[in-house]
Amino acid sequence: MDQSSPAPKHRLVGWAQQLKPTLLALGLVLVVRTVVAEPYTVPSPSMVPTLLVGDELIGSKFAYGYSKYSSPIGLMPDFSGRLFDKPPERGDVIVFRLPRDPSTTYVKRLIGLPGDRIQMRAGRLYINEAVVPRRAIGSFANDVGGHIIPSTLYMETLPNGREHEIVEISDADHYDNTPIYVVPSKHYFMMGDNRDNSLDSRVAEMEGGVGYVPEENLVARADLLLLSRDPAVTWFDVTHWSHAFRLARVFSHVD
Protein backbone atom coordinates (compact mmCIF):
# COMPACT_ATOMS: atom_id res chain seq x y z
CA MET A 1 0.00 0.00 0.00
CA ASP A 2 1.27 3.47 -0.89
CA GLN A 3 1.93 5.36 2.35
CA SER A 4 3.17 8.56 0.66
CA SER A 5 -0.20 9.95 -0.47
CA PRO A 6 -1.32 11.44 2.90
CA ALA A 7 1.75 13.68 3.08
CA PRO A 8 0.79 16.02 0.17
CA LYS A 9 -2.76 16.14 1.53
CA HIS A 10 -1.50 17.21 4.95
CA ARG A 11 0.70 19.85 3.33
CA LEU A 12 -2.26 21.22 1.37
CA VAL A 13 -4.34 21.38 4.56
CA GLY A 14 -1.48 23.17 6.32
CA TRP A 15 -1.11 25.71 3.51
CA ALA A 16 -4.86 26.33 3.50
CA GLN A 17 -4.82 26.96 7.24
CA GLN A 18 -1.91 29.40 6.87
CA LEU A 19 -3.52 31.13 3.89
CA LYS A 20 -6.91 31.58 5.54
CA PRO A 21 -5.91 34.51 7.86
CA THR A 22 -4.23 36.27 4.94
CA LEU A 23 -7.32 35.94 2.75
CA LEU A 24 -9.55 37.12 5.59
CA ALA A 25 -7.30 40.17 6.14
CA LEU A 26 -7.30 40.99 2.42
CA GLY A 27 -11.08 40.62 2.33
CA LEU A 28 -11.47 42.94 5.30
CA VAL A 29 -9.21 45.54 3.68
CA LEU A 30 -11.22 45.32 0.47
CA VAL A 31 -14.51 45.76 2.34
CA VAL A 32 -13.16 48.77 4.24
CA ARG A 33 -11.84 50.37 1.06
CA THR A 34 -15.15 49.78 -0.70
CA VAL A 35 -17.56 50.80 2.07
CA VAL A 36 -15.73 53.11 4.47
CA ALA A 37 -12.67 54.91 3.09
CA GLU A 38 -9.84 54.61 0.60
CA PRO A 39 -6.46 56.36 0.25
CA TYR A 40 -5.56 58.33 -2.89
CA THR A 41 -2.37 60.03 -3.98
CA VAL A 42 -2.57 63.42 -5.74
CA PRO A 43 -0.59 63.22 -9.01
CA SER A 44 -1.08 66.72 -10.47
CA PRO A 45 -1.11 70.38 -9.37
CA SER A 46 -4.66 71.09 -10.58
CA MET A 47 -5.98 71.46 -7.00
CA VAL A 48 -3.17 73.67 -5.68
CA PRO A 49 -3.17 75.21 -3.07
CA THR A 50 -5.77 72.91 -1.46
CA LEU A 51 -4.00 69.73 -2.56
CA LEU A 52 -0.33 69.47 -3.48
CA VAL A 53 1.36 66.92 -5.72
CA GLY A 54 2.33 64.03 -3.44
CA ASP A 55 -0.48 64.52 -0.94
CA GLU A 56 -2.00 61.26 0.24
CA LEU A 57 -5.62 61.77 1.23
CA ILE A 58 -8.42 59.69 2.67
CA GLY A 59 -11.68 59.68 0.74
CA SER A 60 -14.89 58.89 2.63
CA LYS A 61 -16.82 56.30 0.61
CA PHE A 62 -20.02 56.53 2.66
CA ALA A 63 -20.36 60.30 2.13
CA TYR A 64 -22.39 59.98 -1.08
CA GLY A 65 -23.51 56.36 -1.03
CA TYR A 66 -22.24 53.71 -3.42
CA SER A 67 -22.15 53.11 -7.16
CA LYS A 68 -20.65 50.56 -9.54
CA TYR A 69 -17.35 52.45 -9.20
CA SER A 70 -17.10 52.16 -5.41
CA SER A 71 -14.93 49.04 -5.39
CA PRO A 72 -11.21 49.78 -5.83
CA ILE A 73 -10.79 46.65 -8.00
CA GLY A 74 -14.05 46.65 -9.93
CA LEU A 75 -15.97 44.02 -7.96
CA MET A 76 -19.25 45.95 -7.81
CA PRO A 77 -22.04 44.76 -10.12
CA ASP A 78 -22.88 46.92 -13.12
CA PHE A 79 -25.88 49.05 -12.14
CA SER A 80 -27.03 52.61 -12.69
CA GLY A 81 -27.54 55.26 -10.01
CA ARG A 82 -26.38 55.00 -6.40
CA LEU A 83 -27.22 52.98 -3.31
CA PHE A 84 -27.87 54.93 -0.08
CA ASP A 85 -27.50 58.09 -2.16
CA LYS A 86 -26.56 61.30 -0.37
CA PRO A 87 -26.18 64.35 -2.63
CA PRO A 88 -22.86 66.20 -2.39
CA GLU A 89 -22.62 69.81 -1.31
CA ARG A 90 -21.28 72.65 -3.42
CA GLY A 91 -17.64 73.17 -2.52
CA ASP A 92 -16.88 69.54 -1.64
CA VAL A 93 -13.55 68.20 -2.88
CA ILE A 94 -14.53 65.00 -4.64
CA VAL A 95 -12.74 61.92 -5.93
CA PHE A 96 -14.48 60.70 -9.08
CA ARG A 97 -14.03 58.48 -12.12
CA LEU A 98 -13.34 60.34 -15.34
CA PRO A 99 -16.48 60.04 -17.52
CA ARG A 100 -14.58 59.39 -20.78
CA ASP A 101 -12.25 56.87 -19.10
CA PRO A 102 -13.68 55.38 -15.87
CA SER A 103 -10.39 53.59 -15.18
CA THR A 104 -8.88 57.02 -14.42
CA THR A 105 -9.50 58.75 -11.07
CA TYR A 106 -9.63 62.56 -10.73
CA VAL A 107 -10.06 64.86 -7.76
CA LYS A 108 -11.65 68.31 -8.17
CA ARG A 109 -13.96 70.72 -6.37
CA LEU A 110 -17.71 70.59 -6.94
CA ILE A 111 -18.79 73.96 -8.33
CA GLY A 112 -22.01 73.31 -10.23
CA LEU A 113 -25.09 71.34 -9.14
CA PRO A 114 -27.75 69.90 -11.46
CA GLY A 115 -29.60 72.72 -13.22
CA ASP A 116 -26.96 75.36 -12.44
CA ARG A 117 -25.70 77.79 -15.09
CA ILE A 118 -21.90 78.07 -14.85
CA GLN A 119 -19.73 80.54 -16.75
CA MET A 120 -16.30 82.17 -16.64
CA ARG A 121 -16.14 85.84 -17.65
CA ALA A 122 -12.78 87.60 -17.66
CA GLY A 123 -11.46 85.13 -15.10
CA ARG A 124 -14.43 85.47 -12.75
CA LEU A 125 -16.71 82.59 -11.89
CA TYR A 126 -20.44 83.12 -12.35
CA ILE A 127 -23.06 80.74 -10.92
CA ASN A 128 -26.64 81.31 -12.08
CA GLU A 129 -25.68 84.74 -13.49
CA ALA A 130 -24.23 85.96 -10.16
CA VAL A 131 -20.50 86.58 -9.81
CA VAL A 132 -18.82 84.51 -7.11
CA PRO A 133 -17.02 86.83 -4.66
CA ARG A 134 -13.28 86.56 -4.27
CA ARG A 135 -10.63 88.59 -2.48
CA ALA A 136 -6.89 88.65 -3.06
CA ILE A 137 -4.92 87.33 -0.08
CA GLY A 138 -1.37 87.14 -1.43
CA SER A 139 0.98 86.06 -4.18
CA PHE A 140 1.73 82.47 -5.13
CA ALA A 141 4.67 80.77 -6.87
CA ASN A 142 2.79 78.54 -9.28
CA ASP A 143 4.73 75.57 -10.67
CA VAL A 144 3.46 75.01 -14.22
CA GLY A 145 5.33 72.27 -16.03
CA GLY A 146 8.50 72.88 -14.04
CA HIS A 147 8.39 76.64 -14.56
CA ILE A 148 7.52 78.98 -11.69
CA ILE A 149 4.91 81.50 -12.78
CA PRO A 150 3.97 84.36 -10.42
CA SER A 151 0.27 84.04 -9.62
CA THR A 152 -2.34 85.50 -7.28
CA LEU A 153 -3.90 83.67 -4.35
CA TYR A 154 -7.58 84.44 -3.76
CA MET A 155 -10.19 83.42 -1.21
CA GLU A 156 -13.37 82.48 -3.07
CA THR A 157 -16.81 82.34 -1.40
CA LEU A 158 -19.42 80.07 -2.97
CA PRO A 159 -23.18 80.81 -2.79
CA ASN A 160 -23.61 78.47 0.19
CA GLY A 161 -21.02 80.43 2.15
CA ARG A 162 -18.18 77.93 1.86
CA GLU A 163 -14.77 79.50 1.35
CA HIS A 164 -11.68 78.04 -0.26
CA GLU A 165 -8.43 79.31 -1.76
CA ILE A 166 -7.85 79.43 -5.50
CA VAL A 167 -4.87 80.37 -7.64
CA GLU A 168 -5.07 82.51 -10.80
CA ILE A 169 -2.18 83.16 -13.17
CA SER A 170 -4.25 85.88 -14.81
CA ASP A 171 -7.85 86.66 -15.74
CA ALA A 172 -7.17 86.22 -19.44
CA ASP A 173 -5.78 82.70 -19.58
CA HIS A 174 -7.21 79.46 -20.96
CA TYR A 175 -10.90 79.00 -20.18
CA ASP A 176 -11.20 82.38 -18.42
CA ASN A 177 -13.96 83.27 -20.90
CA THR A 178 -16.41 80.49 -21.61
CA PRO A 179 -19.93 79.90 -22.84
CA ILE A 180 -22.65 79.19 -20.29
CA TYR A 181 -22.64 75.59 -19.12
CA VAL A 182 -26.05 74.27 -18.05
CA VAL A 183 -25.46 71.30 -15.75
CA PRO A 184 -27.72 68.37 -16.73
CA SER A 185 -29.88 66.46 -14.28
CA LYS A 186 -27.93 63.95 -12.17
CA HIS A 187 -24.61 65.50 -13.24
CA TYR A 188 -22.07 67.81 -11.62
CA PHE A 189 -19.63 70.50 -12.73
CA MET A 190 -16.09 70.18 -11.36
CA MET A 191 -13.24 72.70 -11.32
CA GLY A 192 -9.67 72.74 -10.04
CA ASP A 193 -8.58 75.34 -7.50
CA ASN A 194 -5.53 76.04 -9.68
CA ARG A 195 -7.85 77.66 -12.16
CA ASP A 196 -5.42 78.27 -15.04
CA ASN A 197 -3.67 74.93 -14.60
CA SER A 198 -6.59 72.52 -14.41
CA LEU A 199 -8.27 70.25 -16.95
CA ASP A 200 -11.83 70.14 -15.63
CA SER A 201 -15.51 70.47 -16.57
CA ARG A 202 -14.81 73.61 -18.56
CA VAL A 203 -13.35 71.30 -21.22
CA ALA A 204 -15.75 68.90 -22.95
CA GLU A 205 -15.15 65.16 -23.04
CA MET A 206 -14.78 65.20 -26.83
CA GLU A 207 -11.95 67.72 -26.43
CA GLY A 208 -10.10 65.54 -23.93
CA GLY A 209 -11.51 67.20 -20.81
CA VAL A 210 -13.78 66.18 -17.95
CA GLY A 211 -17.15 67.52 -19.08
CA TYR A 212 -20.16 67.00 -16.84
CA VAL A 213 -19.65 64.26 -14.23
CA PRO A 214 -22.54 61.78 -13.79
CA GLU A 215 -23.62 61.16 -10.20
CA GLU A 216 -22.65 57.49 -10.45
CA ASN A 217 -19.02 58.50 -11.14
CA LEU A 218 -18.64 60.07 -7.70
CA VAL A 219 -16.42 57.82 -5.60
CA ALA A 220 -15.57 59.60 -2.36
CA ARG A 221 -15.34 62.92 -0.54
CA ALA A 222 -11.77 64.03 0.19
CA ASP A 223 -11.74 64.58 3.94
CA LEU A 224 -8.29 64.16 5.46
CA LEU A 225 -4.62 64.30 4.47
CA LEU A 226 -2.65 61.34 5.80
CA LEU A 227 0.76 62.28 4.46
CA SER A 228 2.37 64.82 2.16
CA ARG A 229 5.67 64.23 0.41
CA ASP A 230 7.31 66.19 -2.39
CA PRO A 231 7.79 63.59 -5.16
CA ALA A 232 10.61 65.68 -6.63
CA VAL A 233 12.76 64.43 -3.72
CA THR A 234 13.53 60.74 -4.28
CA TRP A 235 13.57 58.15 -1.51
CA PHE A 236 17.32 57.74 -2.06
CA ASP A 237 18.03 61.44 -1.49
CA VAL A 238 18.26 61.07 2.28
CA THR A 239 19.93 64.46 2.81
CA HIS A 240 16.79 66.25 1.56
CA TRP A 241 14.20 64.19 3.42
CA SER A 242 13.64 67.02 5.88
CA HIS A 243 12.35 69.15 2.98
CA ALA A 244 10.47 66.34 1.26
CA PHE A 245 7.95 65.62 4.02
CA ARG A 246 5.43 68.42 4.58
CA LEU A 247 4.74 67.66 8.22
CA ALA A 248 2.41 70.64 8.70
CA ARG A 249 -0.06 69.01 6.30
CA VAL A 250 -0.19 65.62 8.04
CA PHE A 251 -3.69 64.81 9.40
CA SER A 252 -5.03 68.18 8.21
CA HIS A 253 -8.63 68.52 7.04
CA VAL A 254 -9.34 69.06 3.33
CA ASP A 255 -11.39 72.27 3.02
Annotated catalytic, 46? yes
Closest CA to 232 of 250, 251, 246: 246
- Of 61, 67, 68, 108, the catalytic one is 108
| Cα(231)–Cα(89) distance, integer angstroms | 31
For the question of residue 108 being annotated catalytic, the response is yes
- The vertex-195 CA angle with 192 and 198, nearest 5°, equals 55
Give the separation between CA 223 and CA 205, rounded to whole angstroms.
Answer: 27
Instruction: Tell me how crowded residue 102 is: count the other CB atoms within 10 A of its CB.
Output: 15
Which residues are designated catalytic? 46, 108
